[in-house]
Chain A
Amino acid sequence: MSQAHSDRKPATAPAVEPLTSNYRDGRPYTRRRDVEDQVCRVRDTDPATWPALAKAPAGSDDRLKSEVIVHLVRILRARGETAIAGQLIEQLVKRMEKTATAWAKGFDQTTTEEIVIQVGERVVELILADTPSRQSEFLEVAFAEAVKRRTLNAVERRESQPRTYRFATPTDAGDGSDGTVANPLEGMADGEPSPEEIAIARERPDVLRRCLGAISNPKHREAVVLRFFEGWPIVSKDKTKPSLCTHFGISDRQISNWFAKAFEEVRAMAGDSL
């Protein structure tokens, strides 16, 4: 069982009104323990103080979790206290904007804003839904993941439309690309890129990451990301498992050609960095 699931309170002793939806395997949706604890601590306090708690700095103990705010909004609306509910919704909207913007990159400002608004309007509707649904209850389970999923779905739908990628240019100074991703090249068993390409990805992942913008073809760039940063196989003997060939619908030979072209552009941009 994952950490996310093990942190959830058993449904037998709910401190807060239980959620009514179920996971695919039949287990009931449950809020995280820290969410329920915070709801219990806050719900009997003066609601007038809640907006300030929602605005508390990120990382502070007092700051209300997004899932808690969703629950408090629903409590307030049931009591008819819409003014304070509105202030809490505003805080949720601001958090939602940050999450959505972080997962809707590579577009011009107008398109990014369209995506954020589209996601935001749907999330607002779910927060205010009169009748609980799986989607509305999931906001009390994992608010940020719900926003992230909806944003990525919106990005997927836009993928056929023109976009303007704005990659960073390589510099010697660190830019946060610290190569913290576990090396996915370990244990690669399927189709292999060239030894030189593997060496670049293994030994200089930071440079490769900074030079992704040099790869002019978005498909080539996506293939490099999936192979060298996410560890996807080029081909898979197990047909149920995803691979670059099944994802792009092309042969392993074509994928290798994509890599060759992509790394040529990376090397040209990186210069002496490699």
Chain B
Amino acid sequence: MTENHQDKLEAIIDEMLLEDPETSYDTLAKWCARYPEHRDALTRFAATRAVQKSLPEGSQIDEARITSRLMSHALSIMHRQGAAARDTAEAVTTRLCEAITESGIPEEEFSRRCNLDETLIAKLNRRLIPVASIPRVAFELIASTIAREVAFVRAMLTGDPIPLGAHKSRSRPAARTEDFLDAVKSSNLSEEAKSEWIRIIEAERKNEGT
């Protein structure tokens, strides 16, 4: 991930404080020389710190109320994460076709709503398409169609390719993976539907690049 301007500034201030919690003028001047592009922000920060230090004791706050509010925030996060973890644990053992069946939606209807044909569904079901190549729109369409979270769908489609249960040759054939785009091109979707997926993939790639 590209570090943005604010993240970089925060990291610099953290290090400056770590080196000199009092942020003396010499320390400030040194860090301004090291990061001249952040001179004004560093200076403002040091000035704010100095003014705060010079102020007498501040307002009394209702500590009990704030503790209660922050603990509520913490418990809410832990609850959400716990639910997500349970959902993910369930997802990794669930196959797409099972999830479609559980949702009660006929596979034809699923195909229509998600703009996927049976070959694409079969490849997604066997995790033959790397998730990194699957467009965000596809996750969202699948998730809304089967009424699950996007994270659940992502986890469900993530993992090692699943080999076929039955095969004619003596040795089990290697499960060959292919990108979502290649799978679309080799699918039985209409040309119009293929073009739409290609447009979506290109748009998402363009957005990621900016």
B-binding residues in A (CB < 8 A):
2, 4-5, 23-24, 77, 82, 85-86, 89-90, 93-94, 96-97, 101-109, 112-113, 116-117, 120-121, 124-125, 127-128, 130, 134-135, 138, 141-142, 145-146, 148-149, 152-153, 155-156, 159, 165-168, 175, 184, 209, 212-213, 221-222, 225-226, 229-233, 240-242, 246-247
- CB of A146 within 8 A of CB of B33, answer no
- CB of A225 within 8 A of CB of B54, answer yes
A-binding residues in B (CB < 8 A):
7, 10-15, 17-21, 24-25, 28-29, 32-33, 36, 39, 42-63, 65-67, 69-71, 73-75, 77-78, 81-82
List 27 interface pairs A-B (beta carbons < 8 Å), by A numbering.
A2-B19, A24-B12, A85-B78, A86-B74, A86-B78, A93-B71, A105-B56, A105-B57, A107-B58, A109-B61, A112-B61, A113-B65, A120-B66, A124-B70, A134-B7, A135-B10, A149-B10, A152-B45, A152-B48, A152-B49, A152-B52, A175-B56, A212-B54, A225-B54, A230-B50, A240-B32, A240-B33
Residue of A whose beta carbon sits closest to that of B6: A153
- CB of A106 within 8 A of CB of B47, answer no
Residues on the A chain within 8 Å of B49, using CB: 103, 152
- CB of B17 within 8 A of CB of A104, answer no
B39's contact among A103, A212, A240, by CB below 8 Å, is which? A240
Tell me what chain B mostly uses at the interface: helix, strand, loop, or mixed. helix
A128's contact among B29, B54, B57, B77, by CB below 8 Å, is which? B77
User: In the bound complex, what is the Cα–Cα distance between A121 and B67 (angstroms)?
Assistant: 10
Q: Given A4-B18, A167-B55, A230-B25, are A159 and B77 also a contact pair (CB < 8 Å)?
A: no
In the complex, besides A97-B63, A104-B58, A222-B47, 16 extra interface pairs with C-beta distance below 8 angstroms are: A86-B75, A89-B74, A94-B63, A105-B58, A105-B59, A113-B65, A134-B11, A148-B17, A153-B10, A155-B48, A159-B48, A226-B47, A231-B24, A240-B32, A242-B29, A247-B44
Residues on the B chain within 8 Å of A142, using CB: 14, 17-18
Interface centre among B50, B58, B75 (most CB of A within 10 A): B58
CB distance from B88 to the nearest CB of A (A): 11
How many A-B contacts are there with CB distance less than 8 Å? 174
- CB of B21 within 8 A of CB of A168, answer no
Residues on the A chain within 8 Å of B55, using CB: 105-106, 165, 167
- CB of B14 within 8 A of CB of A138, answer yes
Residues on the B chain within 8 Å of A24, using CB: 11-12, 15
Q: Given A89-B71, A146-B14, A167-B56, are A247 and B43 also a contact pair (CB < 8 Å)?
A: yes
User: In the bound complex, what is the Cα–Cα distance between A120 and B14 (angstroms)?
Assistant: 17
A145's contact among B11, B17, B66, B78, by CB below 8 Å, is which? B17
Residues on the A chain within 8 Å of B12, using CB: 24
Residue of B whose beta carbon sits closest to that of A231: B25
Residues on the A chain within 8 Å of B60, using CB: 109
CB distance from B43 to the nearest CB of A (A): 4
- CB of B78 within 8 A of CB of A156, answer no
CB distance from A105 to the nearest CB of B (A): 3
Residues on the A chain within 8 Å of B57, using CB: 105
Residue of B whose beta carbon sits closest to that of A105: B58
CB distance from A148 to the nearest CB of B (A): 7
Residues on the B chain within 8 Å of A103, using CB: 49, 52
7 closest A-B pairs by CB: A105-B58, A105-B55, A242-B43, A168-B56, A109-B59, A120-B70, A2-B19
User: In the bound complex, what is the Cα–Cα distance between A60 and B143 (angstroms)?
Assistant: 53
User: In the bound complex, what is the Cα–Cα distance between A124 and B7 (angstroms)?
Assistant: 18
Residue of B whose beta carbon sits closest to that of A8: B18
- CB of B18 within 8 A of CB of A145, answer yes
Residue of B whose beta carbon sits closest to that of A210: B56
User: In the bound complex, what is the Cα–Cα distance between A123 and B55 (angstroms)?
Assistant: 25
- CB of B61 within 8 A of CB of A156, answer no
Residue of B whose beta carbon sits closest to that of A167: B56
- CB of A128 within 8 A of CB of B74, answer yes
Residues on the B chain within 8 Å of A159, using CB: 48
